[in-house]
Chains A and B, each alone.
Chain A
């Protein structure tokens, strides 16, 4: 039994993120990639903080969540690049985002859990999900195609 007196509301949850093919999120060249997880490889630690201000957000899409990386300290966000939203990283503290009086929508993702997997849908661009290719190594991107070519279901692995 361990006791934590930390301000849990100010300490994000830390997770590794994988798909069901045992590929893990890693950071390569400032780009979030998914690669088969190997023994010698340390997946990126993803930080999650639920948004506390739910008033202006949709209720049934999942828990609005800020997603960040532990090291380097940055956050995932969506922005429109031409026709479609793209997933980017911005150097920003997830705790600062969490402390905002209002939801910072580009940085928010509806976290929806089904069974053991989760999907992350952009709050700023509803219908667009964080996705990866179905095999090999590839970067993370945004898609509206669900259950087809790309994988949008991820597993959050608690670090021991």
Chain B
């Protein structure tokens, strides 16, 4: 309050000096007593030119003496107090004038008692004129002794102290106003002082600056390191959302810009209209030695144009990019798919083969039929064995099939040679002998069975026949073609041998009309029978003899050819 009142009085006083002067803010100076004090009144650029500067003591309202012998006096633009006394505390005013301008600079000087390195006498805690300086750990740094006096003051050599003791260590080298410190470590922080003898107008004074020195880790200017991306590529599906982080470590002192660019343009600018790709929020984690930054880039939807384009993360001078690529084909999926497809194909082929097996085999036989006669010592292709049912209708059916249809289709159309018991044996021969002898000359055994023939005449009653058949089957390993004339409901009524044959070779059930006089070898039933029959070898038909026969018997040959084609 008192200060404000005082200031008000000074303003009044100064108003008398000039009514057009501009006031500058108050300078506050707190200096310890008993040492020289100098303050330069400047107001650049005004004081660069020709100006009139006058210092006033605001308390006495009088200009400061310009006599250099006076303890407080003005020299040029300076106010000099040699030395300071406690009573010098107060407000001083400097008026700078030239032809057009006037500026007033106020100084509030506080002089206090300080007892350097005297722990028994404490200074006022809230007053200090100590300088604050930093020593960075490293090969070298320096402290500065701020002794700023007019040219009339001659300064002697500067003495440097640490913790009240003169510094003698060779690591410390005073150079002009500085103290160069080599191999700076954290222990070099502390209380320093620089002192010099100041001579003015024949009198010597001692000026001392206290300096509080704090240590700091030398700011190693490191180049920011981009940990990710690493100029890599990222596989991503078209249309998906993607977020990629840029991870950076940088020095704590850095002022680097971190951003994402595409084609040297900020992504936010590049996609300013669609906003499809945006730079994310930057976050950082501070570590003792460095800062870890993360700044991401977000693709709301990956488009085709994004693939192969380098998205650059910038951190100061460092850059790193990533590129998007379409996902590589999944070989495992392809392999599995391929195997499944193969399995389907194989299954289909097998099904088709099973379904058309008979047609394929028959076609194959007709297409690649060997002209070479089979040399297995057999005379007949099949031995036909059939029952003589007691029922008249059944007997008739059996006879029709055996004596009419089989010879018609297999012998005439397909040119097989059959041995039909009851047709081809010589009269008077013993049944067992006929069977035994002729069955050996056959490649297949065609067995006709009819249901409900409890007296299965063929095998049930004729033990010789039975033995012969068994011999044929077991010793010769003949293949049996079992033909059911009608559907057999219950096989258990059949002899065991029949059951066994049915189980082993299956049975072909007659389908068709026995009354039909013309049978076609291409019906399903006959195809099945032919399938089980041995492959037919045809003699070469294009021999000159055959051709001659063709000329001689054209109609017969045509018929034979028809038959050849159908089988």
> For residue A106, which residues in chain B have a CB less than 8 angstroms away from its CB?
none
Q: Are A22 and B282 in contact (CB under 8 A)?
A: no
Partner of B144, one of A22, A41, A53, A137: A22
A48 at interface, CB cutoff 8 A: yes
Q: Are A38 and B221 in contact (CB under 8 A)?
A: no
* Chain A residue with the shortest CB-CB distance to B268: A52
Bound-state Cα–Cα, A156 to B281, Å: 26
Within 8 A of A (CB), among B130-156: 130-134, 136, 142-144, 146, 148
- Cα–Cα distance between A138 and B279 once the two chains are bound (Å): 43
Q: Smallest Cβ distance from B190 to chain A, in angstroms?
A: 14
CA distance A111 to B254 in the complex (A): 11
**Taking CB as reference atom, which chain A residue is nearest B149?**
A136
Contact of B281 among A7, A51, A139 (CB under 8 A): A7
A64 to B481, CA, bound (A): 101
In the complex, which residue of chain A has the Cβ closest to the Cβ of B22?
A: A29
A115-B221, A116-B219 as given contacts; A52 in contact with B266, CB under 8 Å: yes
Residue of B nearest to A21 (CB): B144
CA distance A159 to B281 in the complex (A): 24
**Which residues on the A side are within 8 Å of B144 (C-beta)?**
21-22, 36
Chain B residue nearest in CB terms to A18? B134
What residues of A have a CB within 8 angstroms of the CB of B25 in the complex? 28-29
Q: Which residues of A contact B146 (CB under 8 A)?
A: 21-22, 36
Given A36-B131, A65-B255, CB of A136 within 8 Å of CB of B40: yes
Asked if residues B136 and A1 are in contact (CB atoms below 8 Å), the reply is no
Among A13, A18, A101, the residue within 8 A (CB) of B255 is A13
B30 touches A101 (CB 8 A): no
- Asked whether A20 lies within 8 Å of B142 as measured between CB atoms, the reply is yes
Chain B residues with a Cβ closer than 8 Å to the other chain, count: 48
Place the interface of chain A in its size category: 35 or more
Measured in the bound complex, the distance between the Cα atoms of B130 and A141 in whole Å is: 27
Contacts A9-B282, A115-B221, A157-B134; A40 near B30 (Cβ below 8 A): yes
What separation, in Å, do the CA atoms of A9 and B268 have in the docked complex?
13
Report whether B255 and A55 are in contact in the complex, using a CB–CB cutoff of 8 Å.
no
With contact pairs A36-B131, A40-B30, A53-B266 given, residues A8 and B282 touching in the complex (Cβ less than 8 Å): yes
Q: Given the known inter-chain contacts A2-B286, A22-B131, please indicate yes or no for A135 contacting B316, CB distance below 8 A.
A: no
Contact A38 B132 (CB under 8 A): yes
Q: Which of B328-353 contact A (CB under 8 A)?
A: none
Within residues 113 to 131 of chain A, which ones have a CB less than 8 A from any CB in chain B? Answer: 113, 115-116
Q: Report yes or no: B257 in contact with A40, Cβ–Cβ below 8 A.
A: no
For the complex, is A158 an interface residue (Cβ under 8 Å from B)? yes
Asked if B393 is at the interface (CB within 8 A of a chain A CB), the reply is no
Chain B positions 177-204 with a Cβ under 8 Å from a chain A Cβ: 177-178
B283-A5 in contact (CB<8A): yes
Given contacts A4-B285, A7-B281, A22-B144, is CB(A39)–CB(B265) below 8 Å? Answer: no
Would B131 and A38 count as touching, CB distance under 8 A? yes
Contact of A8 among B30, B177, B212, B293 (CB under 8 A): B293
Task: Assess whether A139 is in contact with B24, with CB atoms less than 8 Å apart.
Answer: no
* Chain A residues, CB < 8 A from B282: 7-9
B265 cross-chain contacts in A, Cβ below 8 A: 55
Tell me if A111 and B255 are in contact (CB < 8 A).
yes
Chain A, residue nearest B283 (CB): A5
Known interface pairs A5-B283, A22-B133, A158-B252; A52-B221 also in contact (CB < 8 Å): no
Whether B316 and A9, one on each chain, are in contact in the complex, defined by CB atoms closer than 8 angstroms, is no
- Chain B residue nearest in CB terms to A51: B257
A147 to B: closest C-beta gap in Å: 17
> Across the two chains, which residue of chain B brings its CB closest to A22?
B133
Task: Tell me the residues in window 42-99 of chain A with beta carbons closer than 8 Å to chain B beta carbons.
Answer: 48, 50-53, 55, 63, 65
- A40 proximity list for chain B (CB < 8 A): 30, 128-130
* Contact across chains for A139 and B316 when beta carbons are under 8 A apart: no
Identify the closest chain B residue to A141 (Cβ): B44
The listed residue (A9, A22, A136, A141) touching B258 by CB distance below 8 A is A9
Chain A residues with Cβ under 8 A from B44's Cβ?
Answer: 138-139, 141
Q: Determine the chain A residues whose CB is within 8 A of the CB of B259 once the complex forms.
A: 9, 52
Residue A37 is within 8 A (CB to CB) of chain B in the complex: yes
CB of B287 within 8 A of CB of A22, answer no
Given the contacts A4-B283, A13-B255, A29-B25, A116 and B129 also touching, CB distance less than 8 Å: no
Name the B residues within 8 Å of A63 (CB-CB): 255-257, 316
Contact: B131 with A101, CB < 8 Å? no
What residues of chain B lie closer than 8 Å to A6, measured between beta carbons? 283
Contacts of B253 in A (CB 8 A): 156, 158
B241 at the interface (CB under 8 A from A): no
| A108 and B256 alpha carbons, distance in the complex (Å) | 15
Query: In whole angstroms, what is the CA distance A158 to B291 when docked?
Result: 13
Q: How far is the CA of A92 from the CA of B259 in the complex (A)?
A: 24
B370 at the interface (CB under 8 A from A): no
Q: Please indicate the chain B residues that have their CB under 8 angstroms from the CB of A116 in the complex.
A: 136, 218-219, 221
Count chain A CB atoms within 10 A of each CB in B40, B132, B148 and give the residue with the most. B132
Q: B284 within 8 Å of A by Cβ?
A: yes
Question: Contacts of A115 on B, CB cut-off 8 Å?
Answer: 221
Bound CA–CA A115/B220 (angstroms): 8
Kindly list chain A residues whose C-beta atoms are within 8 Å of the C-beta of B218: 116
Contacts known (A50-B257, A63-B255, A65-B255); A135 close to B148, Cβ less than 8 A:
yes
Contacts of B143 in A (CB 8 A): 22
State how many angstroms separate the Cβ of B411 from the closest Cβ of chain A.
Answer: 100
Q: Is the CB of A37 within 8 A of B131?
A: yes
Min CB–CB distance B298 → chain A (angstroms): 14
* Closest residue of A by beta carbon distance from B316: A63
15 interchain pairs, CB-CB under 8 A: A2-B285, A8-B284, A9-B258, A9-B281, A9-B282, A21-B146, A21-B177, A21-B178, A37-B132, A39-B128, A52-B259, A63-B255, A116-B219, A138-B42, A141-B44
Leading 5 A-B pairs by shortest Cβ distance:
A50-B257, A8-B282, A36-B146, A39-B130, A22-B133
Supplied contacts A21-B177, A116-B136, A138-B44, 9 more A-B pairs, CB within 8 Å: A4-B284, A4-B285, A22-B146, A29-B24, A39-B131, A52-B257, A55-B265, A135-B177, A157-B134
Binding site for A on B (CB under 8 A): 24-25, 27, 30, 40, 42, 44, 128-134, 136, 142-144, 146, 148, 177-178, 212, 218-219, 221, 252-253, 255-259, 264-266, 269, 279, 281-287, 293, 295, 316
